[in-house]
Amino acid sequence: MSPSALQIQTRMFKGIFLFVAIPLFLFAIATEIFAQSKPYDINGCIQTTAIKSENNDGFLFGFDRVRLTVKGALNPKVDFRLQVDFSKQSTDIDKDGDSPGIIKDAEMKIKANSHVVVHFGKFKTPIGTEFNMSGQKLDFVKRGLGQALVFERNLGAMVRASKLNKMNLGFDLGVFNPGPSKANDIGSAAAGNDYTLAGRVHATPVKNVFAEAYFGNAMTSVVDQENVSIFGAGVKTKFDKLNVNGEFMMRKDGNSAAQDGTDFWFSAAYLVTPEFEPVLKFEKLDVSADASDQAITVIGFNYFFNPKDHHQSKIQVNYHMSDLDGYDAIQFMFQVKY
């Protein structure tokens, strides 16, 4: 059935509204910020990709991130952070199943003391070492296969403690809306006790080595649904010019065979010159749905235009090799951070 004239007009109005109203709103915020003396910051990034997959004869250009972030301190106890992604403005609902896709983060932070901060709003859960790396600072064009298992951004509240001892011991403990990423229909808010719980413990046991362990449980009281649980551990290291990172995670999901299983990866990056950094990654995803199993190897390099700020402006080049037919790809990323 073709859309009616009213439906077409409604869609046109929505598109015009998003195109005009959002920039005007952000301009108003920026004007207000610059008119005050409070320490607010505006920053963001643009990531343009060019990808040639195995089944395409040419490169396809696109955006991974077109983000704008406003953050600052309202008073000695309260901070805020708002991050929007214009590449997601056509996504009415985000992966959490509750919030608009254009809103990546929107949170209030209350400082209990110098070590403890309480977060309210939408933000990343503490699940996943690679997932919690900033998208602007990744060694590779794309995050890995394990993103099919992690609990994504969600609406909720979380206590974050850091630098509790000489090893920088810390923890995160949060409660979020029902249903994690890839299972946002799990649980029901109407039930009153269906929440997604997520936590992490982290430390720097030795110099230049960051280690963490995390866990999560998406509870459900809906008939014929099972709780979704996840746990994992990761390590990030930085020794002069060499970075070596790795992670293992396991998700138990009786509701979806494609998200029921394990993921393991490790990577290395070495800064040959202040501008040039070769990179290497291996990853293996093993889930109950055998057709979704995959192993990948990624080789490539990063070129940094500014040796003093590597992620300000850079080009990333990756050759992505998969053991599945049709999944090999050449990937380029062109990034500016402002």
Task: Tell me what pLDDT residue 1 has.
Answer: 47
Q: What percent of the chain has pLDDT over 90?
A: 77
Task: Tell me what pLDDT residue 121 has.
Answer: 97
CB-based contacts of 273-276 (< 8 A; 24+ apart in sequence): 274/304, 274/307, 275/303, 275/304, 275/305, 275/307, 276/301, 276/302, 276/303, 276/304
Rounded Cα gap, residues 225 and 204, in angstroms: 38
pLDDT tens by residue, 117-154: 999 999 999 999 999 999 999 999 999 999 999 999 99
Q: What is the pTM of this model?
A: 0.85
Task: Tell me what pLDDT residue 107 has.
Answer: 98
Q: Is the pLDDT of residue 326 over 80?
A: yes
180: pLDDT confidence band, cut at 50, 70 and 90?
confident
pLDDT tens by residue, 91-106: 667 777 778 889 999 9
Rounded Cα gap, residues 218 and 233, in angstroms: 18
Rounded Cα gap, residues 180 and 174, in angstroms: 13
pLDDT tens by residue, 214-263: 999 999 999 899 999 999 999 999 998 999 999 999 999 999 999 999 99
Residue 21, SS3 per DSSP: helix
Q: Is the pLDDT of residue 173 over 60?
A: yes
For 274, phi and psi rounded to 5 degrees?
-60, -20
Task: Tell me what pLDDT residue 35 has.
Answer: 55
9: pLDDT confidence band, cut at 50, 70 and 90?
very low
Which carries the bigger pLDDT value, residue 166 or residue 2?
166
Task: Tell me what pLDDT residue 55 has.
Answer: 86
Task: Tell me what pLDDT residue 14 has.
Answer: 47
pLDDT tens by residue, 277-309: 999 999 999 999 999 999 999 999 999 999 999
Q: Is the pLDDT of residue 37 over 80?
A: no
- CB-based burial of residue 113 (10 Å sphere; 0-12 exposed, 13-18 middle, 19+ buried)? exposed
The yes/no answer on whether domain 38-337 falls in CATH 3.40.50.1240 is no
